[in-house]
Structure 1
Amino acid sequence: MRHGPAVRRRKLGEELRKLRDRAGLTSPEAARLVGWHQSKVSRIETGHSGAKPEDVALLLSAYDVKEPQLRLLLEALAETSGESGTQWWHAYRGLLPPQYRDFISLESQACAARTLETSVVPGLLQTPDYARTVTRATLSGLPVRKVDSLVEVRLARQEVLRAASPLALSAVLDEAVLRRTVGGERVMKEQVRHLLEVAELPHVQLQVLPFEAGAHMGLTGAFVIFSFPNIADLDVVVIDHLASSLYLERKEDLGQYSAAFQRIQAQALQPGDSLNLIAGIR
Protein backbone atom coordinates (compact mmCIF):
# COMPACT_ATOMS: atom_id res chain seq x y z
CA MET A 1 0.00 0.00 0.00
CA ARG A 2 1.34 3.41 -0.92
CA HIS A 3 0.27 7.01 -0.87
CA GLY A 4 -0.69 8.57 -4.21
CA PRO A 5 2.53 10.41 -5.09
CA ALA A 6 4.66 7.30 -4.47
CA VAL A 7 2.37 5.24 -6.69
CA ARG A 8 2.65 7.76 -9.48
CA ARG A 9 6.45 8.06 -9.20
CA ARG A 10 6.92 4.32 -9.34
CA LYS A 11 4.54 3.83 -12.24
CA LEU A 12 6.05 6.75 -14.14
CA GLY A 13 9.53 5.29 -13.62
CA GLU A 14 8.46 1.84 -14.78
CA GLU A 15 6.95 3.21 -17.97
CA LEU A 16 9.97 5.40 -18.74
CA ARG A 17 12.24 2.38 -18.29
CA LYS A 18 10.09 0.35 -20.73
CA LEU A 19 10.26 3.16 -23.28
CA ARG A 20 14.04 3.42 -22.87
CA ASP A 21 14.34 -0.33 -23.46
CA ARG A 22 12.08 -0.02 -26.50
CA ALA A 23 14.40 2.65 -27.85
CA GLY A 24 17.37 0.29 -27.40
CA LEU A 25 19.17 2.57 -24.98
CA THR A 26 21.03 1.81 -21.79
CA SER A 27 20.63 4.06 -18.77
CA PRO A 28 24.05 5.74 -19.31
CA GLU A 29 23.26 6.29 -22.99
CA ALA A 30 19.93 7.92 -22.13
CA ALA A 31 21.64 10.14 -19.58
CA ARG A 32 24.20 11.31 -22.14
CA LEU A 33 21.47 12.13 -24.65
CA VAL A 34 19.69 14.47 -22.24
CA GLY A 35 22.80 15.80 -20.53
CA TRP A 36 22.22 14.26 -17.11
CA HIS A 37 24.18 12.08 -14.75
CA GLN A 38 23.24 8.42 -15.07
CA SER A 39 22.13 8.32 -11.43
CA LYS A 40 19.31 10.78 -12.14
CA VAL A 41 17.86 8.50 -14.79
CA SER A 42 18.12 5.54 -12.40
CA ARG A 43 16.46 7.39 -9.53
CA ILE A 44 13.54 8.41 -11.74
CA GLU A 45 13.11 4.90 -13.15
CA THR A 46 13.09 3.29 -9.71
CA GLY A 47 10.65 5.86 -8.32
CA HIS A 48 13.11 7.09 -5.71
CA SER A 49 13.15 10.57 -7.23
CA GLY A 50 10.42 12.72 -8.71
CA ALA A 51 10.52 14.11 -12.22
CA LYS A 52 9.32 17.43 -13.51
CA PRO A 53 7.06 17.39 -16.57
CA GLU A 54 9.80 19.04 -18.60
CA ASP A 55 12.23 16.27 -17.55
CA VAL A 56 9.77 13.65 -18.73
CA ALA A 57 9.26 15.49 -22.02
CA LEU A 58 13.04 15.55 -22.54
CA LEU A 59 13.33 11.80 -21.96
CA LEU A 60 10.39 11.02 -24.23
CA SER A 61 11.97 13.02 -27.03
CA ALA A 62 15.24 11.16 -26.51
CA TYR A 63 13.31 7.88 -26.74
CA ASP A 64 11.54 9.06 -29.91
CA VAL A 65 8.08 8.74 -28.34
CA LYS A 66 5.71 10.57 -30.67
CA GLU A 67 2.25 9.43 -29.47
CA PRO A 68 0.66 12.71 -28.23
CA GLN A 69 -1.72 11.08 -25.75
CA LEU A 70 1.02 8.95 -24.22
CA ARG A 71 3.32 11.94 -23.88
CA LEU A 72 0.60 13.99 -22.20
CA LEU A 73 -0.24 11.21 -19.76
CA LEU A 74 3.34 10.58 -18.70
CA GLU A 75 4.07 14.28 -18.34
CA ALA A 76 0.92 14.60 -16.21
CA LEU A 77 2.11 11.74 -14.02
CA ALA A 78 5.25 13.67 -13.13
CA GLU A 79 5.43 14.41 -9.43
CA THR A 80 4.80 18.13 -9.80
CA SER A 81 1.81 17.80 -12.15
CA GLY A 82 -0.69 18.09 -9.32
CA GLU A 83 0.99 21.20 -7.96
CA SER A 84 1.24 23.16 -11.16
CA GLY A 85 -0.58 26.44 -11.39
CA THR A 86 -2.05 25.29 -14.70
CA GLN A 87 -4.31 22.87 -12.84
CA TRP A 88 -7.59 24.30 -11.57
CA TRP A 89 -7.23 22.83 -8.06
CA HIS A 90 -4.02 24.80 -7.51
CA ALA A 91 -6.22 27.72 -6.43
CA TYR A 92 -7.38 25.60 -3.46
CA ARG A 93 -3.94 24.37 -2.48
CA GLY A 94 -4.09 25.92 0.99
CA LEU A 95 -7.44 24.26 1.67
CA LEU A 96 -6.99 20.74 0.26
CA PRO A 97 -4.78 18.15 1.96
CA PRO A 98 -2.11 16.54 -0.27
CA GLN A 99 -3.94 13.21 -0.54
CA TYR A 100 -7.09 14.94 -1.81
CA ARG A 101 -5.10 16.95 -4.36
CA ASP A 102 -3.50 13.75 -5.57
CA PHE A 103 -6.89 12.03 -5.81
CA ILE A 104 -8.21 14.90 -7.95
CA SER A 105 -5.10 14.73 -10.12
CA LEU A 106 -5.62 11.00 -10.73
CA GLU A 107 -9.33 11.53 -11.39
CA SER A 108 -8.63 14.26 -13.93
CA GLN A 109 -6.15 12.06 -15.84
CA ALA A 110 -8.19 8.85 -15.79
CA CYS A 111 -10.24 7.64 -18.74
CA ALA A 112 -12.50 5.44 -16.61
CA ALA A 113 -13.55 4.93 -13.01
CA ARG A 114 -15.36 2.05 -11.32
CA THR A 115 -16.71 2.88 -7.90
CA LEU A 116 -18.66 1.19 -5.16
CA GLU A 117 -20.36 3.46 -2.62
CA THR A 118 -22.02 2.08 0.48
CA SER A 119 -22.83 5.25 2.46
CA VAL A 120 -23.03 8.37 0.31
CA VAL A 121 -23.58 9.40 -3.29
CA PRO A 122 -20.24 9.49 -5.16
CA GLY A 123 -18.68 12.96 -5.23
CA LEU A 124 -18.93 13.16 -9.02
CA LEU A 125 -22.71 12.77 -8.76
CA GLN A 126 -23.54 15.00 -5.78
CA THR A 127 -25.69 18.12 -5.91
CA PRO A 128 -24.41 21.29 -4.19
CA ASP A 129 -26.77 20.98 -1.20
CA TYR A 130 -26.03 17.29 -0.75
CA ALA A 131 -22.28 17.95 -0.97
CA ARG A 132 -22.57 20.77 1.56
CA THR A 133 -24.44 18.56 4.03
CA VAL A 134 -21.92 15.73 3.70
CA THR A 135 -18.99 18.13 4.09
CA ARG A 136 -20.46 19.64 7.26
CA ALA A 137 -21.11 16.20 8.72
CA THR A 138 -17.68 14.74 7.98
CA LEU A 139 -15.66 17.88 8.72
CA SER A 140 -17.56 19.39 11.60
CA GLY A 141 -16.48 22.76 12.91
CA LEU A 142 -15.27 24.18 9.60
CA PRO A 143 -16.13 27.84 8.92
CA VAL A 144 -18.87 28.40 6.38
CA ARG A 145 -16.36 29.91 3.94
CA LYS A 146 -14.23 26.76 3.91
CA VAL A 147 -17.28 24.53 3.54
CA ASP A 148 -18.37 26.59 0.53
CA SER A 149 -14.89 26.28 -0.98
CA LEU A 150 -14.87 22.51 -0.55
CA VAL A 151 -18.27 22.31 -2.23
CA GLU A 152 -16.84 24.38 -5.11
CA VAL A 153 -14.05 21.82 -5.44
CA ARG A 154 -16.55 18.96 -5.44
CA LEU A 155 -18.56 20.59 -8.23
CA ALA A 156 -15.45 21.48 -10.24
CA ARG A 157 -14.40 17.83 -10.15
CA GLN A 158 -17.63 16.92 -11.91
CA GLU A 159 -16.44 18.62 -15.09
CA VAL A 160 -14.65 15.36 -16.00
CA LEU A 161 -18.09 14.00 -16.87
CA ARG A 162 -18.75 16.88 -19.27
CA ALA A 163 -15.33 17.10 -20.93
CA ALA A 164 -14.72 16.55 -24.64
CA SER A 165 -13.30 13.14 -23.73
CA PRO A 166 -15.35 12.44 -20.62
CA LEU A 167 -14.55 10.04 -17.82
CA ALA A 168 -16.40 6.75 -18.24
CA LEU A 169 -18.04 6.16 -14.87
CA SER A 170 -19.49 2.87 -13.63
CA ALA A 171 -21.00 3.31 -10.18
CA VAL A 172 -22.69 0.78 -7.94
CA LEU A 173 -24.65 2.32 -5.07
CA ASP A 174 -25.84 0.34 -2.10
CA GLU A 175 -29.56 0.96 -1.61
CA ALA A 176 -28.67 2.49 1.75
CA VAL A 177 -27.13 5.42 -0.12
CA LEU A 178 -30.54 6.26 -1.55
CA ARG A 179 -32.53 5.56 1.61
CA ARG A 180 -30.35 7.61 3.97
CA THR A 181 -31.86 11.08 4.33
CA VAL A 182 -28.99 13.55 3.91
CA GLY A 183 -30.00 17.17 4.36
CA GLY A 184 -33.73 16.54 4.53
CA GLU A 185 -36.43 15.55 2.07
CA ARG A 186 -35.94 18.48 -0.31
CA VAL A 187 -32.19 17.86 -0.64
CA MET A 188 -32.70 14.15 -1.21
CA LYS A 189 -35.40 14.66 -3.85
CA GLU A 190 -33.09 17.00 -5.75
CA GLN A 191 -30.20 14.55 -5.37
CA VAL A 192 -32.22 11.61 -6.65
CA ARG A 193 -33.47 13.70 -9.58
CA HIS A 194 -29.87 14.60 -10.40
CA LEU A 195 -28.84 10.93 -10.37
CA LEU A 196 -31.54 10.16 -12.92
CA GLU A 197 -30.35 13.02 -15.14
CA VAL A 198 -26.67 12.10 -15.00
CA ALA A 199 -27.51 8.46 -15.71
CA GLU A 200 -28.74 9.56 -19.14
CA LEU A 201 -25.17 10.39 -20.16
CA PRO A 202 -23.88 7.62 -22.45
CA HIS A 203 -20.62 7.27 -20.49
CA VAL A 204 -22.29 6.93 -17.08
CA GLN A 205 -23.67 3.64 -15.78
CA LEU A 206 -25.51 3.47 -12.46
CA GLN A 207 -26.51 0.30 -10.69
CA VAL A 208 -28.18 -0.18 -7.33
CA LEU A 209 -27.27 -3.01 -5.00
CA PRO A 210 -30.65 -3.72 -3.34
CA PHE A 211 -31.06 -4.71 0.29
CA GLU A 212 -32.42 -8.05 -0.87
CA ALA A 213 -28.99 -8.90 -2.35
CA GLY A 214 -27.89 -9.60 1.21
CA ALA A 215 -24.20 -9.94 2.03
CA HIS A 216 -21.76 -8.89 -0.68
CA MET A 217 -18.04 -8.32 -1.20
CA GLY A 218 -18.41 -4.57 -0.74
CA LEU A 219 -19.43 -4.80 2.89
CA THR A 220 -15.87 -4.00 3.94
CA GLY A 221 -16.14 -0.52 2.44
CA ALA A 222 -16.23 1.74 -0.59
CA PHE A 223 -13.48 1.92 -3.20
CA VAL A 224 -12.63 3.45 -6.59
CA ILE A 225 -10.64 1.89 -9.43
CA PHE A 226 -9.09 4.40 -11.83
CA SER A 227 -8.01 3.34 -15.32
CA PHE A 228 -5.84 5.39 -17.66
CA PRO A 229 -5.51 5.61 -21.45
CA ASN A 230 -2.76 3.67 -23.23
CA ILE A 231 -1.21 2.10 -20.15
CA ALA A 232 -3.26 -0.58 -18.37
CA ASP A 233 -0.54 -1.00 -15.74
CA LEU A 234 -1.34 2.47 -14.39
CA ASP A 235 -4.66 1.36 -12.88
CA VAL A 236 -4.97 2.33 -9.21
CA VAL A 237 -7.41 1.35 -6.46
CA VAL A 238 -8.21 4.13 -3.98
CA ILE A 239 -9.68 3.39 -0.56
CA ASP A 240 -10.73 6.38 1.54
CA HIS A 241 -10.48 6.51 5.30
CA LEU A 242 -11.52 9.30 7.63
CA ALA A 243 -8.12 10.98 7.74
CA SER A 244 -6.26 9.50 4.77
CA SER A 245 -6.44 7.54 1.54
CA LEU A 246 -4.70 4.32 0.55
CA TYR A 247 -3.56 3.61 -3.00
CA LEU A 248 -3.21 -0.01 -4.13
CA GLU A 249 -1.36 -0.63 -7.38
CA ARG A 250 0.06 -4.17 -7.23
CA LYS A 251 -1.32 -6.42 -9.95
CA GLU A 252 -2.60 -8.81 -7.28
CA ASP A 253 -4.56 -6.03 -5.57
CA LEU A 254 -5.92 -4.68 -8.84
CA GLY A 255 -7.03 -8.13 -9.90
CA GLN A 256 -8.74 -8.76 -6.60
CA TYR A 257 -10.64 -5.47 -6.61
CA SER A 258 -11.55 -5.73 -10.29
CA ALA A 259 -12.97 -9.21 -9.70
CA ALA A 260 -14.83 -7.97 -6.63
CA PHE A 261 -16.38 -5.11 -8.61
CA GLN A 262 -17.54 -7.52 -11.31
CA ARG A 263 -19.18 -9.75 -8.72
CA ILE A 264 -20.85 -6.77 -7.08
CA GLN A 265 -22.14 -5.60 -10.46
CA ALA A 266 -23.58 -9.06 -11.04
CA GLN A 267 -25.42 -8.90 -7.69
CA ALA A 268 -26.72 -5.40 -8.40
CA LEU A 269 -29.81 -4.56 -10.41
CA GLN A 270 -29.30 -3.98 -14.12
CA PRO A 271 -29.03 -0.28 -15.10
CA GLY A 272 -32.62 -0.01 -16.31
CA ASP A 273 -34.05 -1.69 -13.23
CA SER A 274 -31.76 0.43 -11.06
CA LEU A 275 -33.11 3.65 -12.55
CA ASN A 276 -36.66 2.41 -12.00
CA LEU A 277 -35.84 1.83 -8.34
CA ILE A 278 -34.24 5.26 -8.03
CA ALA A 279 -37.27 6.88 -9.65
CA GLY A 280 -39.56 5.00 -7.27
CA ILE A 281 -37.58 6.19 -4.26
CA ARG A 282 -37.85 9.74 -5.51
Structure 2
Amino acid sequence: MSDAALSSPNRARRELGKALRALRDQSGDTAEEVGAQIGLSSSQVTRIETGERTCSAKAFAALMDLYEVDDDRQTELEDLAKLARRRQQPWWQEQYGDTVSAKYARLLEYEHDATARLDYQTVLLPPHFQTEGYARAVTAVGFAALGPDQVDSLVEVRMIRQHRLRGENPLTVTAVVTQAALDFHVGGLEVHKAQLRHLLEVTRLPNVSLRVIPYEQGENGTQAGAFNILQLPGDAPDVAFAESVAGNVILEAPLDVRRLNRLFRNLADVALDVEESHALIQRVERDLT
Protein backbone atom coordinates (compact mmCIF):
# COMPACT_ATOMS: atom_id res chain seq x y z
CA MET A 1 0.00 0.00 0.00
CA SER A 2 1.48 3.36 -1.01
CA ASP A 3 2.00 6.28 1.36
CA ALA A 4 -0.44 8.32 -0.71
CA ALA A 5 -3.20 5.79 -0.19
CA LEU A 6 -2.65 5.96 3.57
CA SER A 7 -2.40 9.73 3.84
CA SER A 8 -6.01 10.42 4.82
CA PRO A 9 -8.52 8.62 7.07
CA ASN A 10 -11.27 9.77 4.71
CA ARG A 11 -9.51 8.27 1.72
CA ALA A 12 -8.68 5.10 3.64
CA ARG A 13 -12.35 4.70 4.56
CA ARG A 14 -13.39 4.98 0.93
CA GLU A 15 -10.65 2.59 -0.27
CA LEU A 16 -11.60 0.04 2.38
CA GLY A 17 -15.27 0.34 1.46
CA LYS A 18 -14.47 -0.21 -2.21
CA ALA A 19 -12.47 -3.34 -1.35
CA LEU A 20 -15.22 -4.69 0.90
CA ARG A 21 -17.81 -4.16 -1.82
CA ALA A 22 -15.61 -6.10 -4.26
CA LEU A 23 -15.33 -8.95 -1.76
CA ARG A 24 -19.10 -9.04 -1.29
CA ASP A 25 -19.64 -9.07 -5.05
CA GLN A 26 -17.27 -12.02 -5.30
CA SER A 27 -19.20 -13.84 -2.58
CA GLY A 28 -22.52 -13.33 -4.34
CA ASP A 29 -24.20 -12.17 -1.11
CA THR A 30 -26.52 -9.19 -0.83
CA ALA A 31 -25.91 -6.41 1.71
CA GLU A 32 -28.88 -7.73 3.67
CA GLU A 33 -27.43 -11.26 3.77
CA VAL A 34 -24.02 -10.01 4.88
CA GLY A 35 -25.56 -7.78 7.52
CA ALA A 36 -27.58 -10.65 8.96
CA GLN A 37 -24.42 -12.72 9.36
CA ILE A 38 -22.33 -10.05 11.08
CA GLY A 39 -25.00 -8.25 13.11
CA LEU A 40 -25.48 -5.12 10.99
CA SER A 41 -28.38 -3.77 8.97
CA SER A 42 -28.16 -3.78 5.17
CA SER A 43 -27.94 0.03 5.19
CA GLN A 44 -25.00 -0.09 7.61
CA VAL A 45 -23.20 -2.54 5.32
CA THR A 46 -23.87 -0.30 2.33
CA ARG A 47 -22.65 2.82 4.16
CA ILE A 48 -19.42 1.03 5.09
CA GLU A 49 -18.94 0.06 1.44
CA THR A 50 -19.51 3.62 0.20
CA GLY A 51 -17.14 5.06 2.80
CA GLU A 52 -19.86 6.94 4.65
CA ARG A 53 -19.49 4.83 7.80
CA THR A 54 -16.37 3.66 9.61
CA CYS A 55 -15.97 -0.10 9.83
CA SER A 56 -15.49 -1.14 13.47
CA ALA A 57 -12.77 -3.62 14.42
CA LYS A 58 -15.46 -6.18 15.29
CA ALA A 59 -17.25 -5.77 11.95
CA PHE A 60 -13.95 -5.89 10.07
CA ALA A 61 -12.93 -9.17 11.70
CA ALA A 62 -16.35 -10.66 10.99
CA LEU A 63 -16.16 -9.63 7.33
CA MET A 64 -12.69 -11.09 6.90
CA ASP A 65 -13.95 -14.42 8.28
CA LEU A 66 -17.11 -14.32 6.20
CA TYR A 67 -15.25 -13.61 2.96
CA GLU A 68 -12.39 -16.01 3.84
CA VAL A 69 -9.75 -13.39 3.05
CA ASP A 70 -6.17 -14.70 2.96
CA ASP A 71 -3.62 -13.42 5.49
CA ASP A 72 -1.68 -11.11 3.15
CA ARG A 73 -4.78 -9.39 1.83
CA GLN A 74 -6.25 -9.17 5.33
CA THR A 75 -3.11 -7.44 6.63
CA GLU A 76 -3.31 -4.94 3.78
CA LEU A 77 -6.98 -4.19 4.44
CA GLU A 78 -6.41 -4.01 8.19
CA ASP A 79 -3.93 -1.16 7.65
CA LEU A 80 -6.67 0.73 5.84
CA ALA A 81 -9.23 -0.11 8.51
CA LYS A 82 -7.00 1.16 11.32
CA LEU A 83 -6.27 4.41 9.52
CA ALA A 84 -9.95 4.88 8.70
CA ARG A 85 -10.78 4.66 12.42
CA ARG A 86 -8.38 7.41 13.44
CA ARG A 87 -10.10 10.32 15.12
CA GLN A 88 -8.65 12.95 12.84
CA GLN A 89 -11.04 15.84 12.46
CA PRO A 90 -10.65 17.82 9.24
CA TRP A 91 -10.41 21.59 9.56
CA TRP A 92 -14.01 22.20 8.47
CA GLN A 93 -15.36 20.00 11.27
CA GLU A 94 -12.97 21.23 13.91
CA GLN A 95 -13.49 24.94 13.24
CA TYR A 96 -16.83 25.16 11.44
CA GLY A 97 -18.71 22.02 12.44
CA ASP A 98 -21.70 23.99 13.71
CA THR A 99 -22.13 25.74 10.34
CA VAL A 100 -21.10 23.28 7.63
CA SER A 101 -23.97 20.97 6.64
CA ALA A 102 -23.51 17.24 6.17
CA LYS A 103 -23.75 17.55 2.37
CA TYR A 104 -21.28 20.42 2.29
CA ALA A 105 -18.92 18.46 4.52
CA ARG A 106 -18.93 15.60 2.03
CA LEU A 107 -18.05 17.97 -0.80
CA LEU A 108 -15.20 19.38 1.30
CA GLU A 109 -14.01 15.87 2.12
CA TYR A 110 -13.82 14.86 -1.52
CA GLU A 111 -12.31 18.21 -2.52
CA HIS A 112 -9.61 17.81 0.13
CA ASP A 113 -8.37 14.67 -1.63
CA ALA A 114 -9.10 15.73 -5.22
CA THR A 115 -6.42 16.49 -7.77
CA ALA A 116 -8.69 18.37 -10.17
CA ARG A 117 -12.08 20.06 -10.29
CA LEU A 118 -14.27 20.68 -13.33
CA ASP A 119 -16.68 23.53 -12.61
CA TYR A 120 -19.67 24.75 -14.61
CA GLN A 121 -21.54 27.85 -13.43
CA THR A 122 -24.47 29.63 -15.05
CA VAL A 123 -24.95 32.91 -13.16
CA LEU A 124 -22.25 32.91 -10.48
CA LEU A 125 -18.48 32.62 -10.65
CA PRO A 126 -16.79 29.45 -9.35
CA PRO A 127 -16.18 29.46 -5.57
CA HIS A 128 -12.42 29.11 -5.95
CA PHE A 129 -12.30 32.36 -7.95
CA GLN A 130 -14.48 34.52 -5.69
CA THR A 131 -13.30 37.52 -3.69
CA GLU A 132 -14.36 37.78 -0.07
CA GLY A 133 -16.81 40.57 -0.91
CA TYR A 134 -18.40 38.58 -3.72
CA ALA A 135 -18.60 35.41 -1.60
CA ARG A 136 -20.21 37.35 1.24
CA ALA A 137 -22.85 38.84 -1.04
CA VAL A 138 -23.69 35.42 -2.50
CA THR A 139 -23.81 33.69 0.88
CA ALA A 140 -25.93 36.36 2.56
CA VAL A 141 -28.79 35.96 0.08
CA GLY A 142 -28.63 32.19 -0.34
CA PHE A 143 -31.46 29.70 0.09
CA ALA A 144 -30.90 29.22 3.82
CA ALA A 145 -31.83 31.93 6.30
CA LEU A 146 -28.41 32.58 7.80
CA GLY A 147 -27.37 34.84 10.63
CA PRO A 148 -24.34 37.15 10.38
CA ASP A 149 -22.08 34.72 12.26
CA GLN A 150 -23.02 31.87 9.94
CA VAL A 151 -22.37 34.01 6.89
CA ASP A 152 -18.95 34.95 8.29
CA SER A 153 -18.10 31.29 8.89
CA LEU A 154 -19.17 30.12 5.44
CA VAL A 155 -17.22 32.92 3.77
CA GLU A 156 -14.15 31.91 5.78
CA VAL A 157 -14.61 28.30 4.64
CA ARG A 158 -14.74 29.44 1.02
CA MET A 159 -11.58 31.50 1.41
CA ILE A 160 -9.75 28.55 3.00
CA ARG A 161 -10.82 26.31 0.11
CA GLN A 162 -9.04 28.68 -2.26
CA HIS A 163 -5.70 27.85 -0.63
CA ARG A 164 -5.74 24.67 -2.74
CA LEU A 165 -5.02 26.77 -5.83
CA ARG A 166 -1.52 27.56 -4.62
CA GLY A 167 1.30 25.83 -2.83
CA GLU A 168 2.34 22.19 -2.94
CA ASN A 169 0.18 19.88 -5.07
CA PRO A 170 -2.26 22.61 -6.12
CA LEU A 171 -5.77 21.73 -7.22
CA THR A 172 -6.29 22.03 -10.97
CA VAL A 173 -9.51 23.92 -11.70
CA THR A 174 -11.00 23.92 -15.18
CA ALA A 175 -14.06 26.15 -15.28
CA VAL A 176 -16.72 27.06 -17.81
CA VAL A 177 -19.16 29.89 -17.08
CA THR A 178 -21.81 31.70 -19.08
CA GLN A 179 -21.32 35.37 -19.94
CA ALA A 180 -24.16 36.15 -17.53
CA ALA A 181 -21.84 35.21 -14.65
CA LEU A 182 -19.58 38.09 -15.70
CA ASP A 183 -22.39 40.62 -16.01
CA PHE A 184 -24.37 40.18 -12.80
CA HIS A 185 -23.50 42.98 -10.35
CA VAL A 186 -23.19 40.72 -7.31
CA GLY A 187 -22.60 42.81 -4.19
CA GLY A 188 -22.85 46.11 -6.05
CA LEU A 189 -20.68 47.87 -8.58
CA GLU A 190 -17.46 48.14 -6.57
CA VAL A 191 -17.56 44.50 -5.46
CA HIS A 192 -18.26 43.52 -9.06
CA LYS A 193 -15.28 45.51 -10.35
CA ALA A 194 -12.96 44.02 -7.74
CA GLN A 195 -14.23 40.55 -8.56
CA LEU A 196 -13.49 40.89 -12.27
CA ARG A 197 -10.00 42.22 -11.56
CA HIS A 198 -9.39 39.28 -9.24
CA LEU A 199 -10.73 36.92 -11.89
CA LEU A 200 -8.18 38.21 -14.39
CA GLU A 201 -5.43 37.61 -11.84
CA VAL A 202 -6.40 34.14 -10.60
CA THR A 203 -6.96 32.78 -14.11
CA ARG A 204 -3.30 33.45 -14.89
CA LEU A 205 -2.30 30.63 -12.54
CA PRO A 206 -0.89 27.65 -14.47
CA ASN A 207 -3.33 25.23 -12.82
CA VAL A 208 -6.41 27.36 -13.57
CA SER A 209 -8.41 27.57 -16.77
CA LEU A 210 -11.57 29.63 -17.35
CA ARG A 211 -13.65 29.70 -20.51
CA VAL A 212 -16.80 31.73 -21.12
CA ILE A 213 -19.88 30.73 -23.11
CA PRO A 214 -20.94 33.96 -24.87
CA TYR A 215 -24.54 35.08 -25.19
CA GLU A 216 -24.48 34.05 -28.85
CA GLN A 217 -24.30 30.45 -27.65
CA GLY A 218 -27.14 30.95 -25.20
CA GLU A 219 -29.09 27.83 -26.10
CA ASN A 220 -26.03 25.76 -25.20
CA GLY A 221 -25.27 27.58 -21.97
CA THR A 222 -28.76 27.19 -20.52
CA GLN A 223 -29.16 23.44 -20.85
CA ALA A 224 -27.95 22.59 -17.36
CA GLY A 225 -27.72 23.97 -13.87
CA ALA A 226 -24.42 24.47 -12.09
CA PHE A 227 -22.38 21.39 -11.29
CA ASN A 228 -18.83 20.33 -10.54
CA ILE A 229 -16.85 17.13 -10.93
CA LEU A 230 -13.99 16.17 -8.62
CA GLN A 231 -11.24 13.94 -9.94
CA LEU A 232 -9.61 11.83 -7.23
CA PRO A 233 -6.09 10.36 -7.19
CA GLY A 234 -5.17 6.88 -8.34
CA ASP A 235 -7.98 4.74 -9.69
CA ALA A 236 -10.63 6.27 -7.43
CA PRO A 237 -13.72 7.17 -9.49
CA ASP A 238 -14.77 10.76 -10.08
CA VAL A 239 -17.59 12.17 -7.97
CA ALA A 240 -19.96 14.94 -9.03
CA PHE A 241 -22.03 17.55 -7.23
CA ALA A 242 -25.05 19.18 -8.84
CA GLU A 243 -26.07 22.48 -7.27
CA SER A 244 -29.67 23.32 -6.38
CA VAL A 245 -31.55 25.69 -4.08
CA ALA A 246 -31.57 22.91 -1.50
CA GLY A 247 -27.79 22.48 -1.60
CA ASN A 248 -25.43 20.08 -3.31
CA VAL A 249 -26.73 16.78 -4.66
CA ILE A 250 -24.00 14.15 -4.60
CA LEU A 251 -23.73 11.99 -7.71
CA GLU A 252 -21.48 8.95 -7.40
CA ALA A 253 -23.12 6.48 -9.79
CA PRO A 254 -20.73 5.92 -12.73
CA LEU A 255 -23.45 6.57 -15.31
CA ASP A 256 -24.37 9.93 -13.75
CA VAL A 257 -20.74 11.01 -13.54
CA ARG A 258 -20.05 9.96 -17.13
CA ARG A 259 -23.03 11.99 -18.33
CA LEU A 260 -21.83 15.09 -16.51
CA ASN A 261 -18.29 14.63 -17.84
CA ARG A 262 -19.73 14.45 -21.35
CA LEU A 263 -21.91 17.50 -20.71
CA PHE A 264 -18.89 19.44 -19.44
CA ARG A 265 -16.94 18.61 -22.59
CA ASN A 266 -19.88 19.75 -24.74
CA LEU A 267 -20.13 23.04 -22.84
CA ALA A 268 -16.39 23.62 -23.16
CA ASP A 269 -16.65 23.00 -26.90
CA VAL A 270 -19.04 25.95 -27.40
CA ALA A 271 -17.16 28.30 -25.06
CA LEU A 272 -14.59 30.87 -26.12
CA ASP A 273 -11.01 29.74 -25.79
CA VAL A 274 -8.95 30.85 -22.79
CA GLU A 275 -7.45 33.92 -24.51
CA GLU A 276 -10.80 35.05 -25.92
CA SER A 277 -12.43 34.55 -22.54
CA HIS A 278 -9.72 36.62 -20.86
CA ALA A 279 -10.27 39.40 -23.39
CA LEU A 280 -14.03 39.32 -22.75
CA ILE A 281 -13.49 39.65 -19.00
CA GLN A 282 -11.24 42.63 -19.64
CA ARG A 283 -13.91 44.28 -21.81
CA VAL A 284 -16.64 43.74 -19.24
CA GLU A 285 -14.42 45.15 -16.47
CA ARG A 286 -13.41 48.13 -18.59
CA ASP A 287 -17.01 48.96 -19.54
CA LEU A 288 -18.25 49.09 -15.95
CA THR A 289 -19.26 52.58 -14.85
TM-score, normalising length from structure 2?
A: 0.74
Q: Alpha-carbon deviation of 1:164?
A: 0.7
CA pair 88-274 structure 1, distance change in 2 beyond 3 A:
same
Q: Which ranges of structure 1 fall in alignment gaps of 5 or more residues?
A: 1-7, 28-37
Match of 1:220 in 2: 224
**Structure 2 runs not aligned, ≥5 long:** 1-11, 29-36, 65-70
Q: Compared with structure 1, are the counterparts of its residues 141 and 239 closer, same or farther at alpha carbon in structure 2 (3 Å cutoff)?
A: closer
1:170 is matched with 174
CA distance in 2, matches of 1:75, 1:188: 48
Match of 1:32 in 2: none
Partner of 1:259: 262
Write the distance in 2 (CA, Å) between the matches of 1:54 and 1:164.
35
Match for residue 46 of structure 2? 47
> How many equivalent pairs are there?
253
1:105 counterpart = 2:109: yes
Provide TM-score, normalisation by structure 1: 0.76
CA distance in 2, matches of 1:157, 1:255: 25
Is residue 136 from structure 1 mapped to residue 157 from structure 2 by the alignment? Answer: no
> What's the counterpart of residue 30 of structure 1?
none
1:167 CA displacement: 1.0
Q: Which has the larger radius of gyration?
A: 2
Partner residue in 2 for 1:146? 150
Are residue 202 (structure 1) and residue 210 (structure 2) matched?
no
Contact 2:120–2:264 (CA<8 Å) still a contact in 1? yes
Q: Percent identity?
A: 32
1:249 to 245, 249, 252: 252
Find the counterpart in structure 1 of residue 7 from structure 2: none
Provide Cα deviations, 1:137-184, integer angstroms capped at 9, x if missing partner.
115753322211111111011111124111111000110000011111
Secondary structure in 2 matching 1:142: coil
Q: Does 1:237 align with 2:236?
A: no
Q: 1:103 to 1:75 in 2, by over 3 A?
A: farther
Q: CA deviation at 1:124?
A: 1.1
Checking the alignment, whether the CA contact within 8 Å between 2:164 and 2:170 is kept in structure 1 is yes
Partners of 2:176 and 2:140 in 1: how far apart? 24
Residues 1:95 and 2:99 are matched in the alignment: yes
CA pair 144-267 structure 1, distance change in 2 beyond 3 A: same
C-alpha spacing 1:227/1:269, structure 2 compared with 1 (3 Å): same
**1:10–1:47 contact (8 Å) kept in structure 2:** no
SS of 2:140's equivalent in the other structure is helix
Q: 1:65 to 1:12 in 2, by over 3 A?
A: closer
CA contact (8 A) 2:123 2:181 kept: yes
Q: Could you tell me how far 1:134 is from its partner in structure 2?
A: 0.5
8 A Cα contact 1:121 1:177, kept in partner: yes
Amino acid at match of 1:270: D
Q: Does 1:181 align with 2:185?
A: yes
After superposition, the C-alpha distances for 1:25-55 in whole angstroms (9 at most, x for unaligned) are 989xxxxxxxxxx838997995343225999
With over 3 angstroms needed to count, the CA separation of the structure-2 counterparts of 1:197 and 1:132, relative to structure 1, is: same
Q: Is the 8 A contact 2:143 2:245 kept in 1?
A: no
Q: Which deviates the most, 44-53 or 190-199? A: 44-53
